[in-house]
Chain A
Amino acid sequence: MRYALCLFLIICLMNVFCWAGAEDKISFIAVTAAANLGFQHVDGRSGQRYFLETVGSGVAFFDYNGDSLLDIYFVNSADLPGSHSPTPPTNRLYHNNGDGTFTDVTERAGVGDTGYGAGCAAADYDNDGNLDLYVTNFGTNVLYRNNGDGTFTNVTDHAGVGDSRWSLGCAFADYDNDGFVDLYVTNYIDFDFETHTDCTQKGVATYCPPESFDGSPDTLYRNNGDGTFTDATINAGVYNKDGKGMGVVFGDYDNDGDVDCYVGNDAEENFLYQNNGDGTFTNVGWMAGVEADENGNVQGTMGVDFGDYDNDGLLDLIAVNYQQQANALYHNDNGSFFTDVSFVAGMAESLPYVGWGADFFDVDNDGDKDLLIANGHLQDTVEQYDDTTTYPQHNHLLINNGQGHFVNASMKAVSGLQAREVSRGFATGDYDNDGDLDVLISNANDSPQLLRNARGNQGNWILIRTIGARSNRTGIGTRVKIQTGDLIQIDEVRSGSGYLSQNDLRLHFGIGRHKRIDRIEVRWPSGVVDIIRDLAPNQIITITEGSHSE
C-alpha cells in the first residue's frame, strides 16, 4: 500500500515537472532575413494621423503553385496625402524555394496591388485546382484568379467583388453548400480625408477613436459558380449598418453541417451569424453570449478565431480586443450558448495590450490548441499620456495547460517572440513541412517576422490536406475529427481568420506521444464522410472527398 502511494506520488511529481518543462520546449527562431523576406510595411503616415494608418495589414501562408510548399503573401498599405515613398508600397508574393529561403515573384505573378491594402484570404473560388487570392483595400478590393502557371489575373470587375468601401477582413466559405466558396468581406468605417479631424488625449495628439466615425456595413458575396459573384448581403440577412467590421471567421459552431460566421466589430457588438441552412443567416450574437464582455460592454474587437481548445467537440471562440478590455475567450457550452471564461482562462494579462491577430494552434504538438495573440498599440504617442502601456508590445503565446487555463510563455522560452513590435495580422503554417506550425507576423510600418518553430515537432503530428470533389475544391469548411487513444480533436479548413490573414489551409494536429492515429473522420460540406483508420503519425496526407467513404 505504501509502495503504491509512493509510486502515485512519483507519477504526480513527474507530471508536474513534465508540465513545468512544456514551455521550455517551445522555441521560435526569427529567420526573416535568412529567408530573404525583404518586405517592408508602409502605413503612409505623415503626421496627419489619418485613421487609416492604425489598422496595419494581414499576411497569407498559401501554396500558390501547388508544389506543397507554403508561399507567402504580404499585404501592404500605401502612401497617404503628405507621404511620399521612393517606390510605391506594393503587396508582395514570395515563392518558397524549399530550402528555408524565399524569392520575391510579385511582378511575375502579377499580384502587386498598390492600393491601401488590409486583408487577404486564399481559396479556389472557381474549383480549377489553383488557389486564388482576395485582397481588401481602402478603395476597391481585388480578386486575383490563379492561372495555374505561376501567374494571376485581376478578375475583380468580371467577378463583381470590388467593394470600394474601406474593407478589412475577408473569408471564403461555402455558406449555401453548392460546391462553390462564397466570400464575406468586413467593412470598417466611413472614412473621408475631407472630414478628417485631429484628436488629443491629455493634450497629446492622437488618432481619433472609432466612435468618432460611422460604421460601414459588411458584404456577403454569393458565388454564382460561373466566375461571378452576387451581392447577397441583404437577402442572406447579414446587412447590419451598425457594424465596424474587422476580423471575420467561419466555423460550424452548432455542429449542424453548415458554416456559421463570427464578425469582430470595433466598439460595437460582435455578430455571430448562425446559418439557417436555407441561404440565410440570423445574428444570434447576443442570444449566444458572444456579442460583448461579461459586463455587457462592447469591445474594440480586432482578430477572431474559432477553435476547440478543450477538445470537447465544439468550436470555441477567441476575440482579441483593445487595451483595458480582456481578450474574450468564449467557451462553447452546447452548440447554442457560450460562456465568457476570459478571466478563468487567464486572459486578464491582456489588459494593458491592444490585441490584433489571434489563432488557435497547437504550437507544441501536445494535442491541445494554444493561442497566439499579436499585440501593438494603435496610438504611437500613447506613452506620452499613459504610463501603463507602450506602443510596441510583446506578442503573447499562451500555452494551453489542458485544464481550461492558458499560461503566457512568450517571455520564458520563446526567443523569437521576446521583441516588442507593433504587430497586426499573422498567419500560422508549416512552411518547412517539418510537422510544427511556424508563424509569420505583419508589423505596422515595419518589417515582418518569420518565426520558425524549432522544437514543436518533438511531439507527434499529422498535416492533412483536403481536396473536395462534390464540395468546393479546397475543402473549405470541411470538419476533421482525429482520434488517438482517448484524445479526440476537431478542426475545420478555413480561408481567412484571425486578423485579416490566411493560415495554412492544411489542418495540423499535434498528438503528443501517441504512436498511431486510430481514426480520422472527414466530414465534407457536401455531407460526404470519409474515414481513415490506423495511420502512422508524422506525415503530410492528402484526403480527397469520397476516397474513404464507408
Chain B
Amino acid sequence: MRYLFLTVLILSCSSFIVSAQRSELLLQHYRQAETFANQQRFDEALHEYQKVIELDPMLPQAYLGLGNIYLAQFEFDTALETYTQAIELKLQLPEIYCNRGIVYTKQGAYEKAVADFQQALTIDTDYTPARFELGFVYQQMGHYAKAVREYERVLPQRQGDLALHHNLGRCYSRLGQVEAAARQHEIAQQIREFQDALDLAQQQIRERPDNPDGYMALAKIYADHNQPAQAFEQYKAAILKDASLMEAYDAVATLYIQYQQRGKAVPVYKTAVGVNSEYIKGHLMLGLLYQRSNEPKASEHHLATARQLAEKAAETTPNVQNLNMLGAIYLAMTDYNRAEATFQQALKVVPDNKQAQEYLHQVRQARKSGSRTENQ
C-alpha cells in the first residue's frame, strides 16, 4: 500500500514537472509567435503558432493568432476555418468574431458577417473595430444609412482614421448629402497627406539611419500636426544622432514653450549652450526665459553673451539673419534705438524681409507702450 502510494506520488510529481515544462515551452512559442506576427514575419509566426497548437490543441488563442496570420495574408478560406475552430473552443473574445466577420465580408457573405460583428458587440459593446466593420459591411450591402449610424458611433474614438472618414464620405455621397461627403473627403485627403509625409520621412530614416535629417523631418510633421509626444521622441532621436544639432534643441524648447511648459525649455537651451557656447539663439532665449521668471542676473548674463556673439556675427557677415538676430537681442534688452537701426539695416539688405518688418513693428509698439508708461 505504502509502495503504491509512493508510486502515485512520484508519478504525480513527474507529471507536474512535465506539465510545467510543457506550459513553459508553450508560453515561449506563443510569445515568439506574437513577436513575429507583430513584426509581420508571417511564415515564422505561423510556424510558432503551429507548435503551440501541437503542444495544446485546445488553446483557442493560438487559433486566433493563426487566423490573424492567414487574414493578413489574404488566405480567407483558411482564416475562416481557423477562426471557427477558435470559436468552437468557446473563445468568447470580440476580436475573434470581428475578424471572422471581416473574412465573411471579403468573401461576400454579408449576412454572416453582420451576425459576427453583432456577436462581437454583444460581448463588448464598446469594441470599435467590430462597429466600424459592421458599418463597412452595411455599406457593401447598400444599407448606407445604417452604415453611417455605425460609423458615426465610432467617430469619437477614431478621429484621424482614414478608412473611417473615407467610407463615411462615400456613404454620405450615396445618401445625397453632398456637403457632408465633401467634408469627409477633405479630411481623408488631409490624413493621406499627413501619412504620405510620414512615409517619406520614415523612408529617409530607413535609407540613412545615422543622419539626423530624417528624424528632424519626422518630428516637424508630428509637431505641425499637434502630436508633441511623437515630435519630442523624434527630436531626441535627432539629437542622439548629432548632439551639436542646435535646431533640434531649439525645436524641443519651442514645443515646450508652445505647450506652456516654459520651465522645461530652460534646461534644453542650457544643454544647447553647454554643447555650443556660441549658440546665439540659445543665449537669447535663456535671457528671455529668465526675464519671465524674474531672474534678472541670469537673464542679463545670457543677453549680454548673446549680444556679444551677435554683434561679432553681424560684423563679420551682415546678412539679414544675423542682423535680425542682433536686432531681436537689442529688443529683448529694451535698447530700442539700436534695435530699430539694426532692423532697418536688415531691410536694406533684403527690403521685403517679413521678419525684419515684423520686428520693426514690435520695436515701434514697444516704444509707444514705453512712452505711455513714462507719461503715466
Chain B residues near A295: list those with CB within 8 A.
Answer: 162-163, 166
Stretch binding the partner chain, chosen from A17-25, A88-96, A163-171, A343-351: A343-351
Any B CB within 8 A of the CB of A8 = no
Give A182-218 interface residues, CB cut-off 8 Å to B.
199-202, 209, 211-212
Q: Would you list 19 pairs from A and B whose C-beta atoms are within 8 A, ordered by A residue?
A: A209-B203, A286-B181, A288-B173, A292-B188, A294-B136, A294-B167, A295-B162, A296-B165, A296-B166, A296-B188, A339-B142, A343-B74, A343-B105, A343-B107, A344-B106, A344-B108, A348-B74, A348-B76, A348-B106
**Beyond A211-B200, A339-B140, is A297–B192 a contact (Cβ under 8 Å)?**
yes
Any A CB within 8 A of the CB of B169 = yes
Cross-chain contact B74 with A351 (CB below 8 angstroms): yes
Binary contact track B116-152/A, C-beta < 8 Å → 1, others 0? 0000000000000000000010001010000000000
Chain A residues near B105: list those with CB within 8 A.
Answer: 343
Any B CB within 8 A of the CB of A115 = no
Q: Which 8 A-B pairs have the closest CB atoms?
A: A296-B166, A344-B108, A295-B163, A348-B74, A343-B106, A296-B162, A286-B185, A287-B173
The bracket for how many chain B residues form the interface is 20 to 34
**Beyond A289-B173, A295-B163, is A211–B199 a contact (Cβ under 8 Å)?**
yes
**Contacting B163 at CB < 8 Å: which of A202, A288, A296, A344?**
A296
Cross-chain contact B162 with A297 (CB below 8 angstroms): yes
C-alpha spacing A351/B106, complex, angstroms: 14
Chain B residues near A292: list those with CB within 8 A.
Answer: 166, 188
Chain A residues near B191: list those with CB within 8 A.
Answer: 296
Any A CB within 8 A of the CB of B295 = no
Chain A residues near B142: list those with CB within 8 A.
Answer: 333, 339
Cβ-closest chain B residue relative to A242? B189
Chain A residues near B165: list those with CB within 8 A.
Answer: 296
For the complex with contacts A294-B136, A296-B191, A344-B106, 16 further pairs of A-B residues with Cβ separation under 8 Å are: A200-B207, A211-B196, A286-B169, A286-B173, A286-B181, A286-B185, A289-B173, A292-B166, A297-B192, A298-B192, A333-B142, A337-B173, A339-B142, A343-B76, A343-B106, A343-B107
Chain B residues near A339: list those with CB within 8 A.
Answer: 140, 142
Cross-chain contact B181 with A287 (CB below 8 angstroms): yes
A67 to chain B, nearest CB (A): 47
C-alpha spacing A296/B161, complex, angstroms: 10
Which of B162, B165, B191, B207 neighbours the largest number of chain A CB atoms within 10 Å of its CB? B207
Chain B residues near A296: list those with CB within 8 A.
Answer: 162-163, 165-167, 188, 191-192
Cβ-closest chain A residue relative to B199? A211
C-alpha spacing A295/B203, complex, angstroms: 22
**Binding site of A, secondary structure by majority: helix, strand, loop or mixed?**
loop
Any A CB within 8 A of the CB of B174 = yes
C-alpha spacing A202/B205, complex, angstroms: 11
Chain B residues near A209: list those with CB within 8 A.
Answer: 203
B76 to chain A, nearest CB (A): 7
Chain A residues near B196: list those with CB within 8 A.
Answer: 211
Chain A residues near B188: list those with CB within 8 A.
Answer: 292, 296
Contact residues of B with A, CB < 8 Å?
74, 76, 105-108, 136, 140, 142, 162-163, 165-167, 169-170, 173-174, 178, 181, 185, 188, 191-192, 196, 199-200, 203, 206-207
C-alpha spacing A201/B203, complex, angstroms: 9
C-alpha spacing A337/B331, complex, angstroms: 61
Chain B residues near A286: list those with CB within 8 A.
Answer: 169, 173, 181, 185
C-alpha spacing A344/B140, complex, angstroms: 10
Cβ-closest chain A residue relative to B162? A296
Cβ-closest chain B residue relative to A337? B174
Cβ-closest chain B residue relative to A339? B140
C-alpha spacing A212/B106, complex, angstroms: 33
C-alpha spacing A133/B81, complex, angstroms: 54
B10 to chain A, nearest CB (A): 50
Chain B residues near A212: list those with CB within 8 A.
Answer: 200
Chain B residues near A333: list those with CB within 8 A.
Answer: 142
B45 to chain A, nearest CB (A): 14
Cross-chain contact B107 with A344 (CB below 8 angstroms): yes
C-alpha spacing A289/B165, complex, angstroms: 13
Cβ-closest chain B residue relative to A269? B189
Chain A residues near B166: list those with CB within 8 A.
Answer: 292, 295-296
Chain A residues near B192: list those with CB within 8 A.
Answer: 296-298
Chain B residues near A297: list those with CB within 8 A.
Answer: 162, 192
C-alpha spacing A296/B187, complex, angstroms: 11
Cβ-closest chain B residue relative to A286? B185
Chain B residues near A337: list those with CB within 8 A.
Answer: 173-174
A297 to chain B, nearest CB (A): 7
Chain B residues near A298: list those with CB within 8 A.
Answer: 192
A333 to chain B, nearest CB (A): 8
Chain A residues near B199: list those with CB within 8 A.
Answer: 211
C-alpha spacing A296/B164, complex, angstroms: 8
Cβ-closest chain A residue relative to B74? A348
Binary contact track A243-263/B, C-beta < 8 Å → 1, others 0? 000000000000000000000
Cβ-closest chain A residue relative to B163? A295
Cross-chain contact A289 with B170 (CB below 8 angstroms): yes
B211 to chain A, nearest CB (A): 13
B142 to chain A, nearest CB (A): 8
C-alpha spacing A297/B165, complex, angstroms: 11
C-alpha spacing A288/B185, complex, angstroms: 12
Chain A residues near B162: list those with CB within 8 A.
Answer: 295-297
C-alpha spacing A341/B165, complex, angstroms: 19
C-alpha spacing A313/B191, complex, angstroms: 36
C-alpha spacing A186/B121, complex, angstroms: 47
Cβ-closest chain B residue relative to A287? B173
